Structures are given as C-alpha cells and as structure tokens.
Chains A and B, each alone.
Chain A
Amino acid sequence: MTALDGSTRQLTLVLIVVGLLVGVAVAPQAWDRATEPDGTVAVVELHGSITGDSATAVIDDLRDARQNDSIQAVVLDVNSPGGTASASEQLYLAVKRTAGEMPVVASVTGTAASGSYYAAAPADDIYVTPASVVGSIGVRATLPSASIPEGQVVTGPDKVGGSTPDEVRQRVETLRRAFVGSVFAERGDRIELTREEVSHAKVYAGASGVENGLADEIGGVDTAIGAAADDAGLSNYDVVRMEAPQPSVLAQLGLSADTTGDATTEQTFEYRGVDTVQYLMLHGTITTDTARNATEVTANATA
C-alpha cells in the first residue's frame, strides 16, 4: 500500500511540474493577448497642395484604412492650402465614405483652407489650434484666352479655351454652390454663419472657427487621436501614420533643375506646356499672366 501511495504522489508531482512547465511556456502569449491593443488609429496626412496625384495618395490611404480590419478610426492630419477643384471633390467623397464606416476626426495642424477644408468637412469633428486656419470656402478659375493662336488649326471656336468667359463664370458659380452646399450638408447644424457669409471665402483663425462652427474643438493632433479612439471605443490602441508623398530631396533643398525656390501655380497645377483653364479651390494669391493685373486691381481697390 505504502509503495503504491508513494508512486502515486510521485506521479502527481511529475504531473504538476509538467503542468507548470506547459503553463509557463504558454503564459507569455496569454499576457500578450491580455495587453494587446484593441485596435489601431490611422493618421492620414493631407499635406501640401492638392493635385490629382497627391489626392490619389490620400484616397488610397483612406481605402487602406477602411479595408484593414485592425484600423478602427482615422485622424486626418490637414495642412494644405487646397488645390484643384476636381481633386478636392474626390477627397471630400473619400473622407465622407470613410466617415460612414468608422470615426474620422480632422486635426488642422496648419491650414485647412479651400479644397483641404472641403476634404475635412465630412469629419465627425474638426480639431484646431488657435493659430491654425480654416475657411476660404470658394472657387477660382483662370479665364481662357479667346483667340486662336496663329499657326494653329482647330476644329471649333472653343477648342482653344474650352469655354467662353461667361461659361467659366457659370461653372465657377456651380462649383461654389456644390462646395458651400456640401459644407452645409456636413456641418449645417453647427455653422453659425449664413451661406452668404460662408461664400465670402474668409479664412478664420482656429478660435474664431470654433466660435462660428467651421471647427469644433481646440486641441492638438494627439487630442484628435484620443477623440477618434474614444469614438471607436478603443481604450488601448496603436497609432500608425500614413504619410503624404514627400517631394524629392533635391526639390526640398531647392536644387532641382526646374524649381527655383517656390513652385509657382503654373508649375504645380498646369500640364507642362499646355495652358488650360484651371478650376482651383486654393487659398492665397496666385500669379498667372492673366490674373496678375486683376489681382493688383483687387489689392488696390481694397487697400
């Protein structure tokens, strides 16, 4: 009996040791499981002028965020003066689509003016700092040249310019209605301004933006990330940054062959060597040959 009792006790001891070893081997995975993040907040950068290419990069980032199961909220890091009208509308739709699937919070880290405000408008909340800038809700276009240049054959009167100046005005007005209408569709319940006041295309510093409803809260990008995580119900989360495409190192240093210093509007938005009518949602003064006089007129008239 005692011999049998002793062997049973030994066997139990061996089993306990084996169980301990197995438990210790598996325990780190259980620890990891317990402490692993609930999900990821993606910070999507919208930096620099909005062109077809830069908008495509942001739209791809947003699609990645939607399709990646671990990403549960998006923070749109906006610092852009806007850009072409069509690319801005594409961005608006992409952000709106993302906001339909997961919390999207915009953080204005510099400027969200014109086209980039268009992109930020569908976000659940827009975070600003007192010095960051929102607004400039409007559209501008260059007027087409009316005459057919000598030495060219074209098949119709509008082949060169694309449209008459009156038609350009109509189209700009149509784009303005779409822009202002979209801003009111997204934020109409929060904006304290009338449509006419918004159409003045003023830019507002962050604090006034919060007051008039073009922005929601004062806070930095980390506050925005926290708010996005809260909205998604994440208490423990990772942050990944999806960066905007960087200009080449040479261009950053100003050493590139074709860019001397600041890139002009033509270099950024026009097709090389072809002068087309540009519909822009862009904040700031642009210099084109045809617009230069008009800009000076406005400057003097308001001076």
Chain B
Amino acid sequence: MKRLFYIILLVVISSLRVEAQNPGWIVPDDQKAKICLVKFTPDMLKQGEALYMKNCQSCHGIPTKKNFAAISPTPGDLSEPKVGTQKDGELFFRITTGKAPMPEFRNILTEDERWSVISFLRSFHKGYFQPDPEKMAGSIGKRIKLAMTYDTVKKKIMIKAIELTKEGPQPAKGAEIIVFVQRYFGNMQLTDTKRTSENGFAGFDWPQDLPGDKNGNVILGARVNDPAGKMQEAVVKDTLAIGVPTNKPALTDTRAMWSTRDKAPVWMILTYTLAVIVVWYFIIFIILSVLDMRKIKQA
C-alpha cells in the first residue's frame, strides 16, 4: 500500500515537472516556421548520421528498424510518417527543448549540428521537400558573426560581434554573449553573460587555474544568447593554449581492479595463479598416485 502511494506520488510529481517545463510539447508558431538556412548536403547528412548514432540511437533505435528502447513513454521510430509530416521547425524545436525523459540538446548540439541530424532524419521521410532557404532568408532577422581572441596582457578573452547588414559588416552593440568551456559532455559557462560595447567587444576574465589538456589546450566557445530565436545562431569555437597543463593519465591507463585483464594488479595475478597451481598440483598428484595403485599386487 505504502509502495503504491510512493509510486503514485512519484508519477504525479514527475508529470507536474514535465507540465511546468513543457506543456504538452506544443511548438510555438514562430518556431514551427523556422527552417534550415542552407540546402541539406550529403556531407551534412553524414555528420547528422554520426550525431544521431551518438546521441539519439540509444533510445530511438536505427530509423526504419523499429528497434527503439522499450521505455515509457515510447520514443518511437523517427522514420514514421508521424514524424515525417512535421515541419522542420517543429523537429528542430523538439530536439532543442527536449521533453523528459528526452534531454534537451540546446547545450549539447549546436544549431548546425541539430540541423544535420534533421537532414539525416529527412532522408527517411518519403515525399519530403526541403523548403527553399533562399526565399526565407529575409525573414530570419539579424545575422551576427563572432570572433574570439585571447588578450595575453589583460588575461581576458575578447569576443568581437559583427552584424552583417545590407550596408556591410558593422560592430554589433549590446549583444548578450555567453562564453563557455567544453567538457566531456556539455559545456560549462564561464562567468556571467556580458553585453558587447559600442564597438562590438565583450571581455571575459580568464581564470588562471582552469585545467587544460597536457599542452594546456582548452576548447572555448562563445555564442550570442538568443532564447527567443530572433536571429540566426551565432557561435565561435576555438582551441586556445591558455589552461593549466594537466597530465592526468586516464584511470584505465594504470594497473587497477577496474582495468582490463592486461592491466590487472600484479599481486592479483600472482595470488590467483599461485592458489590455482598449488591446489591443482595436489589434486593431480593425488589422482596420479591413486591410479598408480592399480599396479600394486598383494605380496
């Protein structure tokens, strides 16, 4: 009885959370209208397939094979017409925002990467024609380009934002910039967001103790914060040798309990082998000597 109560409570709470985040997974109209600004290419499709296999396949399975995970709510096969009839903008929104238990990919995949996943999915949807990016270009809003440099004197990461207008490139003023460091999974935001100055610059203090790889390399990224999706995504990524060089061997590099057989602790190999040899030496000795008894005749 108690157990049932807890299960019900859990279900209620989890559904409430989902409701609050994402009522019914309804895609706003302006998001529905969103389209990819480039023509899908075979390269994109290939990249999309790789990303799909890494991020989506564990639940959704391989498209058309219907081998999606047996969980509830069911993830479904994404090659189905139910998915195929949705607009590009809807798919994009769903991938971006997720809906528990599906994670949101906002901070995991870039916009380009999300589009390439969609281009991969579209290859399974019969009768799909990609909306012409040329015709839509006008309605997409601002286009901003970012550039990133490291100021060794001030120890600051400098981001320059340039708006591409019809009159040519101009410094973008007041754009909200997020700087992040790439980790194994997802990104870590570096300090608060900052807005670009009059001449399009925003400077971020670089903490001197942040670890990099063994050469001190850190992968940094910056993007314009645009939750409403009013402009084309603007991101820049770069590898800079500004972290503290850290040479941490992977935990599986040394001999350890959790490593593979070839990296078993020496004492463990010795103990096991020795015990087996000693015990089986006696067993074999006994078997042989007992079998030998057959030759002994009564004197």
Q: Do A and B belong to a common assembly?
A: no
Residues of A within 8 A of B (CB): none
Residues of B within 8 A of A (CB): none
